Amino acid sequence: MNYDLPAEHQALRETVRDLAENVIGPVAEELDRTSTFPLAIVGQLGAMGLMGVPFPAELGGGGADILSYAIAVEELARIDSSVAITVAAHTSLGTSPIVLFGSAEQKERYLPELCSGRRLAAFGLTEPGSGSDAAAIRTRAAEQPDGAWVIDGEKMFITNAGTAISGLVTITALTAEGETSNLIVENGTAGYEPGPPLHKMGWHASDTRPLAFQSCRVPAGNLLGPRGNGFRQFLEILDGGRISVAAIGLGLAQGAFEQALAYAQQRNAFGRPIAKLQAIQFKLADMETEIAAARHLLYHAAWLKDRGRPFAHAASLAKLYTAELSHRVVNEAVQIHGGYGYMDEFPISRFYRDQKILEIGEGTNEVQRLVIARGLGV
């Protein structure tokens, strides 16, 4: 075993950390307060090759591994979860279906724009009436005599679908009774309408919308992979997505911990820094311990995926643990900040709001436990 991160991973961490601290950090509060999508930052991330990190270079990607991608997302979330989820949803939910299941034509048509970050991709599985119970989707795609598909239905809570640079959404639809398939729908297609942005507790700078499909016609070539493979495909996509969300949880927890540590060292109470109080020291010690454990879980899941080994179970362990640990860490970090932690001027209040979705998105904590238990054969 070798626990040293290879030099290229360390270099990537430093590059992303530098960008996050010096470019994203200074505007994060403003983007959050005004619920502004970080268009310029996404452009910069694209120019730096960070919008397609784990995809093959010949397809326009960064040619790096999943561990690199996880580290990049972790470093973004250490400063700003909205930017981190924009990259993560674009990469693992939006672009990876085309990398994994797309035809040569689809790859050629879409991947150069997506991997460069000139266009954003989204993935639409959730509907107003079905989230965890994905088999209950109602959106339908009817095959036409010429092979085209006509889509009718609604999607809910979809990330990245309605920005100025959103290029496409891959949606899951019923193509026959009990048969699901995935279809690519380009922005601008007649009958496809991203709704207005949803107002959220956190992730204010991330784009989240309902989507409407009304007699939306897409050509036969927009079917992703073989007909009827929708269910299998999205389960595979969500397995990878769990590494992304775990990386956001880890980065958010790391950032919250660092803020709490710094604050505790400069805030005085009863004549000394609160960091000298054992009650505060124990909180900080617990935080560091759990973050270290989470990092091992996450990097192990990424390591397995990079070796082509079964990783879904490890990704669920990492996703569940980081979702819950980030909750504990950010809660204690606000506590250490006292009343100032409740004020918007301190980034920790944004971190607190941004954390909750990690226990819901891409498989709730309850669903992760079901998946993990299934892996145990019980």
Q: Where do contacts with ligand FAD occur on this chain (CB under 6 A)? A: 89, 93, 122-126, 131-133, 157-159, 200, 203, 208, 357, 360-362, 364, 366-367, 370
Closest-by-Cβ residue to ligand FAD is 131
Contact call for residues 186 and 113 (beta carbons, < 8 A): no
d(CA 120, CA 122): 7
Max CA separation in the chain (angstroms): 80
At its nearest, how many Å lie between ligand FAD and the CB of residue 251? Answer: 17
207 φψ region: left (φ > 0), alpha (ψ -120 to 50), beta (else): beta
Nearer to ligand FAD, 126 or 163 (CB): 126
Reference 206, options 80, 323, 119, 96; nearest CA is: 80
CB of 363 to ligand FAD, least distance (A): 6
What distances in angstroms separate CA 41 from CA 36, 49, 361, one per listed residue?
A: 11, 12, 23
Q: Which is nearer to ligand FAD, 27 or 370 (CB)?
A: 370
- Name the minimum Å distance from CB 90 to ligand FAD: 10
Which residue number, 208 or 259, has a Cβ lying nearer to ligand FAD? 208
Backbone dihedral region of 338: left (phi > 0), alpha (psi from -120 to 50 degrees) or beta?
A: left
Task: Give the Å distances, CA to CA, from 144 to 8, 177, 197, 219, 331.
Answer: 50, 16, 32, 10, 53
> What phi, psi does 80 have (nearest 5°)?
-155, 110
Classify residue 136 as left (phi > 0), alpha (psi -120 to 50) or beta. alpha
Intra-chain end-to-end CA distance of the chain, in Å: 31
**Cβ-based nearer residue to ligand FAD, 211 or 291:** 211
135 versus 279: smaller Cβ distance to ligand FAD: 135
Which H helix or E strand runs over 212? strand 208-218
Choosing from 75, 290, 332, 362, the catalytic residue is 362
Residue 21 among the catalytic residues: no
Active site residues: 362
